[in-house]
């Protein structure tokens, strides 16, 4: 008798007498719940299932002998679909895991006798450990589920933070904003080398421990804070001239002289977010496009109601038209949209429509309905000549929808490829 076998048999004898009555179905339910946590191999699990199937429900209620089965290894091999040697290996593994024990005869033969369907004598494979550990299985299953939930949450947070860090760094470098972008990029690359799939595809990796995932998330958050600090310093250093138009802070009008930057090169690079940030030379626009930008006037309260996600990045974005324009000015980099695509969007949509589209895309991304901001903007640009709703109309619909239901709108016309094609056609 092996040491593992002796330990299991000793534990069975100590606990079996005081074990509360249970049923076969209750034990099997607990065992199936705990199966993922036990990490049984497929063949081992099939063998254990066959052993349980060979027992009778009344065996699990017997306080003297308990559930014992006596099939030969050849019969088990036939039922499981493997050879006899494999059966011996998996039986040994079940003993080591404390799931079964052997009640062998002196000749190591398995046999049993039933009277009125009850076992009166049996030498074979004893399943009593399963009965004794029923409550332990339930606790193990609960702990395993909690760990899976925590792992899933950590993976989601890592994925979201990773994307934010990449966009913050890429946007800062692309916009030539002063900041420790090289150091941050180096640190991010080092994390990739250290954690591998846990960083690149956290939702698909199962090898990393919870401790490693917590440490990785903490490192990413540190990078995010450093990158956002550089962006905040850039925004604070940007001087804006208040609009003296009659529309005041609550008007949103097309005024090419509304915003002036101290850094003219940065102004040209940004190329026209909203309210007169000068755009690159525009190509001839269709009548539909010209109609969209006529008499544009938006209420800031309505824009905030439609696209509250901007406030998460810039809390004072809706305090004035200038603050809104300055905030939108940074969105291209934050969303990871290339300069080439942005120039194309301005030429196709116009500076106002292109800027409003960034607000709409940001909100859709935060709501979980737009996974690829750059690809989505490209889709908008490619359909710019069709009869899809303008951004002003979309923002009005979003604001109205959120007024009645604060959850993300389910009928937003540009969310989802099918919806976009339906409204475009």
For the segment 48-80, what is each residue's pLDDT rounded down to a tens digit?
A: 999 999 999 998 887 788 899 999 999 999 999
> CB of 400 within 8 A of CB of 410?
no
Q: Is the CATH number of domain 3-132 1.20.120?
A: no
Task: Name which residue leads in pLDDT, 92 or 390.
Answer: 92
Average pLDDT over residues 250-270: 36
User: Which pLDDT belongs to residue 80?
Assistant: 92
Is residue 274 within 8 A of residue 352, CB to CB? The reply is yes
Q: pTM surpassing 0.75?
A: no
- Strand boundaries in 21-105, DSSP class E: 68-69, 101-103
Q: What's the pLDDT score for residue 418?
A: 45
Query: Which residue from 232, 243, 21, 212 is spatially nearest to 132, judged by alpha carbons?
Result: 21
Does 6 score more than 70 pLDDT?
no
Q: What is the mean pLDDT of residues 100-108?
A: 79
Q: Where are the alpha helices (DSSP H) in 238-367?
A: 264-270, 287-292, 300-306, 310-313, 321-335, 339-349, 351-366
Which three-class secondary structure state does DSSP give residue 136? helix
Q: Where do the H-state alpha helices sit in 238-286?
A: 264-270
Q: What is the pLDDT of residue 95?
A: 92
Question: Stretch 43-52: mean pLDDT, rounded?
Answer: 92
Residue 299 has pLDDT above 60, yes or no: yes
78: how many CB neighbours lie within 10 A of its CB? 14
Q: So where are the chain's domains?
A: 3-132, 143-237, 248-424
Q: What is the pLDDT of residues 342-380, one digit of tens each?
A: 888 888 888 888 888 888 888 888 887 887 888 888 888
Q: Return d(Cα 421, Cα 387) in angstroms, integer.
A: 10
- Let me know: does 382 contact 341? Beta carbons within 8 Å: no
pLDDT at residue 69 in the model: 93
pLDDT at 238: 61
**What are 181-210's pLDDT values in tens digits?**
999 989 988 988 888 888 878 877 667 888
CA-based nearest residue to 60, from 29, 36, 104, 106: 29
The predicted structure's pLDDT at residue 2: 54
**Chain segment 88-99, per-residue pLDDT in tens:** 999 999 999 999
Task: Count the neighbouring beta carbons within 10 Å of the beta carbon of residue 39.
Answer: 10
CB 334 within 8 A of CB 168: yes
What is the residue-wise DSSP string for 328-344? Answer: HHHHHHHHT--HHHHHH
**171-180 mean pLDDT:** 82
């Amino acid at each position: 008798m092996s040491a593992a076998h002796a330990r299991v048999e000793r534990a069975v004898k100590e606990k079996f007498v005081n074990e509360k009555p249970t049923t076969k179905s209750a034990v099997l339910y607990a065992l199936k719940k705990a199966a993922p946590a036990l990490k049984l191999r497929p063949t081992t699990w099939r063998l254990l299932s066959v052993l349980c199937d060979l027992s009778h429900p009344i065996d699990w209620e017997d306080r003297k002998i308990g559930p014992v089965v006596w099939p030969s290894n050849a019969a088990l091999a036939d039922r499981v679909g493997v050879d006899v040697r494999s059966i011996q290996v998996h039986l040994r593994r079940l003993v080591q895991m404390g799931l079964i024990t052997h009640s062998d005869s002196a000749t190591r033969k398995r046999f049993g006798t039933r009277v009125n369907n009850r076992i009166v004598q049996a030498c074979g494979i004893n399943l009593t450990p399963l009965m004794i550990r029923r409550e332990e299985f339930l606790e193990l299953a609960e702990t395993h589920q909690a760990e899976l939930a925590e792992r899933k949450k950590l993976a989601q947070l890592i994925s979201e933070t990773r994307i934010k860090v990449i966009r913050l760094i890429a946007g800062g470098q692309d916009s030539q904003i002063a900041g420790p972008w090289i150091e941050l990029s180096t640190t991010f690359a080092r994390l990739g080398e250290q954690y591998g799939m846990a960083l690149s595809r956290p939702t698909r990796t199962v090898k990393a421990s919870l401790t490693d995932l917590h440490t990785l998330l903490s490192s990413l958050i540190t990078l995010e804070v450093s990158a956002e600090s550089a962006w905040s310093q850039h925004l604070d250093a940007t001087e804006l001239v208040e609009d003296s138009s009659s529309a005041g802070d609550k008007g949103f009008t097309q005024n090419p002289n509304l915003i002036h930057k101290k850094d003219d090169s940065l102004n040209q690079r940004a190329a026209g977010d909203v309210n007169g940030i000068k755009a690159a030379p525009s190509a001839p626009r269709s009548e539909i496009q010209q109609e969209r930008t006529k008499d544009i006037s938006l209420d800031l309260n309505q824009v905030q109601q439609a696209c509250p996600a901007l406030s998460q990045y810039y809390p004072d974005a809706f305090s004035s038209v200038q603050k809104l324009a300055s905030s939108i000015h940074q969105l291209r980099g934050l969303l990871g949209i290339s300069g080439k695509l942005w120039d194309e969007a301005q030429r196709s949509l116009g500076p106002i429509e292109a800027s409003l589209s960034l607000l709409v895309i940001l909100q859709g991304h935060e709501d979980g309905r737009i996974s690829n901001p750059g690809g989505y903007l490209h889709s908008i640009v490619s359909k710019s000549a069709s009869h899809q709703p303008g951004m002003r109309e979309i923002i009005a619909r979003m604001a109205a929808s959120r007024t009645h239901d604060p959850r993300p709108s389910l009928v937003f016309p540009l969310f989802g490829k099918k919806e976009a094609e339906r409204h475009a056609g």
